[in-house]
Amino acid sequence: MGIIIVRPSGELAIKSSYVRRIFIRKLVKNISTQITVSKWRVDQGYIILETEGDVSRLSYVFGISYFYVAEEINFSTIQELAHAAVEKFAELVRGKKFAVRVRRTGEHEFTSMDIAREVGKLLLPFSAGVDLENPEAIVHIDVIQNRAYLYSEEHQGPNGFPVGTTGKTVVLFSGGLDSPVATWMMMKRGAKPILLNVKLGGELQKNLVIDEIKVLSKWSGGEKLKVYFVDGLKISTYLSNVNKFLRVITLKRIMYKLADFLGRKTGAYSITTGESLSQVSSQTMKNLFVSEYGINRPVFRPLIGMDKEEIVSISRKIGTYELSSKMPEYCIISSKSTVRARLSEVLDNEKDINIDYKDLLDHAEVLEV
């Protein structure tokens, strides 16, 4: 059993108290899917939790700025606090250059500097001296009213909003490099993704997609991730009648329409893709305009302004890079596309294709990870 102090993302602090309460409650719910929480309270913007389990899992919970495992003490004088700090930290600083870092909230007759000075003075004889610039050991003390939290290590959280607080989005999820990164970025903004894969590559593609979703689910704050696999073969047959230079754009339009339908079915108000401006011919500005023409939901493209290196670096960080690299390109997608599709021509071509989107989705294979 330990006390964990969580500082929510700075963005949560500027919300109205009503919204903040909702977000904090969801954050605690998401935290308790990772570790056991027996009690919690909010004090001066910090969430104080009594917990059991592996705290390192909190590094994956969106909505956390930083967190630490602390010892809680009640105190009335600065000397009392300093003695408790010495008892806890004498061994930590033994023979090392150290620094004391103090944060203080509440009404007190002393400042943070007063605490740091008093604690530093008592720890000095155990140590190799004070070094505020490059300490070998750091003594952290957070004072909130008449309680102090003592700890030696602070862990970074991923910031953002708790997953599930900002709505659902249908993600067009190919499983290539980009769409997993786009999914992660939307989860970071608190969205719950509903994944839609047009199965063009059979079981190999499907299994890679599932493995990628498993990796992404580490970041989902316990929210189950649902994936819809739609029959790609059926869609390919529709496309065989389309002019070959317009096939990629038409396929994209079909995917967007499927996503729009799925959004309506699942209460998701947006569509997310992994497109990045002009990365490939189907992603020129003109083609993106034509692709999403007539779609009722806003299309979010979190990667639109990123280059490949930036996307790769996020993909490595979140753990999907290795799996994405195994994903082959599928021939329809990689076939030549015009860079400036004419809307009227594309719409004209489309007239002869009669796709029953509802039926495609009703027959989709649905899994939850």
Ligand X SMILES: Nc1ncnc2c1ncn2[C@@H]1O[C@H](COP(=O)(O)OP(=O)(O)OP(=O)(O)O)[C@@H](O)[C@H]1O
Residue ranges in contact with ligand X by CB under 6 A: 172-174, 176-179, 196-198, 200, 255, 273-275, 279-280, 282, 333
Q: Which residues contact 61 (CB under 8 A, 6 or more apart)?
A: 27, 30, 31, 34, 157, 158, 162, 221
We find the least distance from the C-beta atom of residue 179 to ligand X, in angstroms, to be 3
Nearer to ligand X, 37 or 171 (CB): 171
366 C-beta neighbours (distance < 10 Å), count: 10
| Interatomic CA distance for residues 63 and 74, integer angstroms | 28
By CB atoms closer than 10 A (0-12, 13-18, 19+), residue 36 is exposed
We find the least distance from the C-beta atom of residue 231 to ligand X, in angstroms, to be 11
Q: Is 347 annotated to bind ligand?
A: no
We find the least distance from the C-beta atom of residue 152 to ligand X, in angstroms, to be 42
Nearer to ligand X, 34 or 179 (CB): 179
Nearer to ligand X, 24 or 181 (CB): 181
We find the least distance from the C-beta atom of residue 282 to ligand X, in angstroms, to be 5
Nearer to ligand X, 112 or 279 (CB): 279
Nearer to ligand X, 172 or 216 (CB): 172
Beta strand extents in 85-234 (DSSP E only)? 98-105, 137-144, 147-151, 155-159, 168-172, 192-199, 226-231
Nearer to ligand X, 78 or 280 (CB): 280
Amino acid at 125: P
We find the least distance from the C-beta atom of residue 91 to ligand X, in angstroms, to be 50
By beta-carbon distance, which residue lies closest to ligand X?
176
Nearer to ligand X, 154 or 231 (CB): 231
We find the least distance from the C-beta atom of residue 339 to ligand X, in angstroms, to be 13
Bridge partners of 189?
161
Amino acid at 148: A
| Interatomic CA distance for residues 297 and 168, integer angstroms | 12
We find the least distance from the C-beta atom of residue 311 to ligand X, in angstroms, to be 8
Q: Is 89 annotated to bind ligand?
A: no
Nearer to ligand X, 115 or 255 (CB): 255
Report DSSP state, residue 130. Answer: B
124 C-beta neighbours (distance < 10 Å), count: 13
| Interatomic CA distance for residues 168 and 194, integer angstroms | 7
Q: Is 173 annotated to bind ligand?
A: yes
Report DSSP state, residue 167. Answer: -
- State the virtual CA torsion across 126, 77, 141, 123 in degrees, nearest 10: -10
| Interatomic CA distance for residues 165 and 343, integer angstroms | 37
Q: Which residues contact 197 (CB under 8 A, 6 or more apart)?
A: 173, 174, 175, 205, 206, 209, 227, 228, 229, 230
Bridge partners of 141?
102, 150
We find the least distance from the C-beta atom of residue 220 to ligand X, in angstroms, to be 18
What are the backbone angles phi and psi of residue 303, rounded to the nearest 5°? -100, 5
* Owner of token pair 């990045």: 276
Q: Is 172 annotated to bind ligand?
A: yes
Annotation: binding site: 172-173, 252, 274, 283
Annotation: binding site for ATP: 172-173, 252, 274, 283
